[in-house]
Structure 1
């Protein structure tokens, strides 16, 4: 009972810190740094090595939080691999992944082996063990961070060929690194324990990979069944989270059961299962849109929790001890990524404007790399902990440097659709109404009576303004320049009374280029509600609004 009470205290304290971290991280966005960088740094500050708000044993006790988050992140990452959308970028994704995999693994392995005499825990080990350690480190160097990439993409609302390629390579690299690590892990076990490479060894390895694919298929089908049930979306979201956690629990259980009953461990990587399951659901079911809706709604909270906990778990004392070796390995990995990106871009025949910045999205590492380092620490006593120390130090550097680089790359590629900064109030209340009709005239007069300066933007031509006493301006097209001409860039409020397609164009320009404080939309089709809501628009549905008003007058006639 005391253990459960202690766990609840840890969880409650961590959630309070996470809420604060979410608010603090917004200040990092003001200096053009990603939110996740703010979350990581806040986690470090709140962790045991600075303020001590999160105790040193909290991350270990809250392991289930990490399992929930990593499974969800794997779902979200694989959902980006929608083959119909990526078909035009598959050549770039394939060659870029090839370049990254080959060079990151080979450069990392060679560098660790070359530095083995300079790394304290490796210097006295035999050559086969050094080779095993080098290969394990090289395989982890291939790992990326889908969570970080998705968080940056969502923050910037990024879309375009460069972003598609970056996300495709990030997810595919994590898919490949799990397979590569599974192979290297088995080889390392053989090298360290002097086990002969034989047919049985290969059979077990292939069996583990087949199990992962089979479990992934079942997970995808199970997700499809849940999404097909007619229940509240919030309940579906909770079930999806628990399915992800269940994958981790089943993987841990299978490892323990096989060790006790078969005298060898069957290791099935839960991240690989979740990635395969999400990929199958996304590409081979009719539930993709609803799945994306769940990922979009739940994602921000998951990222706050995951990156704050990751920051708190970073051992700053370890980083201080091995910072020189970590810096060298960080530099080696960075060089490998740059060369791998140039090689992949050249083979894919991508334009130079993408190739010159093509390495920047792939520096970040987080969940998968940390998870694989932990696997080594737990399964190779004697040097596993020290190995994880060095690798985690490199991952810390990658995680602090990587997200800002990805953000800058998206901006340099011109694919950012983030909200512009809202201009300061100039003392005059301005509003622009799009649409020339009776409702726009009535609204303009009413706002004028309350001290607003109102402009009606018309695409129908100009009628006699003198009789209407309203400022009507023609607008030739819905573009940034045309909207600037009529003063939309300085307006406090914009009201759109056109078609949903035109209304969305206006709201998107106001969001991305002008930072307009208030955007009011008259909605024509309920199916477009979420699109406008994501842009922070205030939405009026005419039918619902009239029914609500009539209901209010019936129940409270004195209000009339």
Structure 2
């Protein structure tokens, strides 16, 4: 395991640094590191790490969402209003509809298999989007119209919406039918997640004000509580839906609202933790990519992915109708909603293992979606935010 960790850190940081020097996003180097070291190429990552890969990726995601919560001011979201709500589900719905219409034509799959494929592909990647939006916020770009906050909130809820639909469509395929309750689960999981996060945030603020605790220990406490949120989500999902990741963000946002000075200090510390968490996240995402399937997909998969992205972009523009955003700012929002990585790596193989006939095709398209959209989205955000957004 130690040898594998050494390779992951040394090669990952090296490739990331090289690509940054040529003005490409470092995460591309991390993804490439994962593909090369992963079980489908050189197989140099220890099985001990691969066995807990999902948990490690979850920890890294919690780190960046905790930092996002500590930077996400509720007043900014209130100022955005309607578009913030629409961005949570409209772009994903447009992309899902596109795949349901096109996949049966391009791959000869059934409509229910196309719906499963659509839910695998339709989620935006918070792991790519969130750190970049934090960077944009720290630079003061788009701050006046709360554009980074709009994208942060939408990208986080987008995943909840898509994963609930994925579960519903898998149930239909396996003969359990489609339950209206599965759709009601989306708003319930959002409300429950926010409520638990806010209440926990208020309790932690009370404790932090009453007791003298080092900031490093506060970081560990916040992470521990966040881990409990994600664990609780799995434990109670049979009884009540809950979004653990939204609870993580709500916890950070509550601390920011009630104890702003502490939130800013902790956000700086989380940014340092993210340096190590980021490389683990993207290298392990890359390791989950089986490039043997890429050659089988061919041109049809690329056409499907790019066509669905066009629908997603249309969905973003519809969300932003009658807002004060300029055309440049709307274009930036569309670009920021392109990258996919974490959700696709997490659930892309589930249909195949569950016996879905088109499971191999779904996994192949998910792999290609990561390889195409993660770099395009990351490069697009990094190269355009200074040109398309106004600096306060």
Instruction: Work out whether 1:236 is the aligned partner of 2:249.
Output: no
Q: Highest relative contact order (Cα 8 Å, sep 6+), 1 or 2?
A: 2
Aligned to 2:160: 178
Q: Say yes or no: does 1:381 pair with 2:362.
A: no
CA–CA distance in 2 between the matches of 1:146 and 1:354? Answer: 20
Work out whether residues 189 and 195 of structure 1, in 8 Å CA contact, stay in contact via their aligned partners in 2. yes
Structure 1 residue runs without a partner (length 5+): 1-9, 123-129, 259-264, 418-560
Q: Does 1:317 align with 2:304?
A: no
- 1:111 has 2:102 as partner: yes
Equivalence for 2:23: 32
User: What is the CA–CA distance in structure 1 between the aligned matches of 2:94 and 2:258, rounded to whole Å?
Assistant: 33
Quick check: which has more Rg, 1 or 2?
Answer: 1
Which one has a larger percent helix, Structure 1 or Structure 2? 2
Residue 42 (structure 2) pairs with residue 48 (structure 1) = no
Give the Cα–Cα distance (whole angstroms) in 2 for the partners of residues 408 and 201 of structure 1: 39
Q: CA offsets, 1:90-123, max 9 Å, x none? A: 4654565565244223223322344351xxxx3x
Note closer, same or farther for the CA distance 1:267–1:280 as it changes in structure 2 (3 Å cut).
Answer: same
Aligned to 1:438: none
CA RMSD of aligned residues (A): 3.6
More strand by share: 1
- Correspondence for 1:148 among 128, 131, 153: 128
* Aligned 1:126-275 pairs, distance under 5 A: 130-153=110-133, 158-161=139-142, 164-183=146-165, 185-186=167-168, 188-190=170-172, 192-195=174-177, 197=179, 211-221=192-202, 223-224=204-205, 227-228=208-209, 229-254=211-236, 268-275=242-249
Is 1:69 aligned to residue 32 of structure 2?
Answer: no
Counterparts in 2 of 1:177 and 1:310: CA distance versus 1, 3 Å: closer
CA distance in structure 1 between the aligned counterparts of 2:90 and 2:368, rounded to whole angstroms? 24
Matches within 5 A, 1:361-510: 361-373=336-348, 380-383=354-357, 385-386=359-360, 387-413=362-388
Query: SS of the counterpart of 1:347?
Result: coil
Check whether the contact 2:104–2:114 (CA below 8 A) recurs between aligned residues. Answer: yes
Could you tell me how far 1:240 is from its partner in structure 2?
A: 2.5
Deviations 1:187-227 (A, max 9, x none): 541453143747x7778777666654554445434554564
Aligned CA distance change for structure 1 residues 381 and 29 (closer, same or farther; 3 Å): same
Would you say how many aligned residue pairs link Structure 1 and Structure 2?
A: 387
- Where does the alignment leave 5 or more consecutive residues of structure 2 unmatched? none
Equivalent-residue separation in structure 2 for 1:254 and 1:337 (angstroms): 32
Q: 2:323 aligns with which of 316, 325, 348?
A: 348
Tell me if the contact between 1:43 and 1:311 (Cα under 8 Å) persists in the aligned partners.
yes
CA deviations 1:381-410 (Å, max 9, x no partner) are: 344853344323322321122211111121
- TM-score, normalising length: structure 1: 0.59
CA distance in structure 2 between the aligned counterparts of 1:152 and 1:210, rounded to whole angstroms: 26
Q: Cα gap change, 1:276/1:191 in structure 2, threshold over 3 Å: closer, same or farther?
A: farther
Determine if contact 2:120/2:166 at 8 Å carries over to the other structure.
no
State the distance in 2 between where 1:416 and 1:304 align.
29
State the secondary structure of the residue aligned to 1:297.
helix
Contact 1:43/1:309 (8 A) holds in 2: yes
Shift of 1:231: 1.9
Note closer, same or farther for the CA distance 1:365–1:324 as it changes in structure 2 (3 Å cut).
same
Change over 3 Å in CA distance of 1:398–1:21 after alignment to 2: same
**Shift of residue 175 of structure 1?**
0.7
Taking the aligned partners of 1:389 and 1:141, their CA distance within structure 2 comes to 11
Aligned with 2:322: secondary structure? helix
Aligned to 2:280: 305
Change over 3 Å in CA distance of 1:159–1:325 after alignment to 2: farther
For residues 285-304 of structure 1, the aligned pairs below 5 Å read 286=260, 287-304=262-279
* Mapped contact 1:103–1:340 kept (Cα < 8 A): yes
Check whether the contact 1:92–1:350 (CA below 8 A) recurs between aligned residues. no
Post-superposition Cα deviations, 1:331-380, rounded to whole Å, max 9, x if no partner, equal 122212332333344432422232344422221112234334456566x4
Contact 1:78 1:171 in 2 (8 A): no
Q: Deviations over 1:280-332 (max 9, x none)?
A: 44445555324423322322221122112222222111223224343122212
Residues 227 and 14 (structure 1 numbering): CA distance in 2 closer, same or farther, change over 3 Å? farther
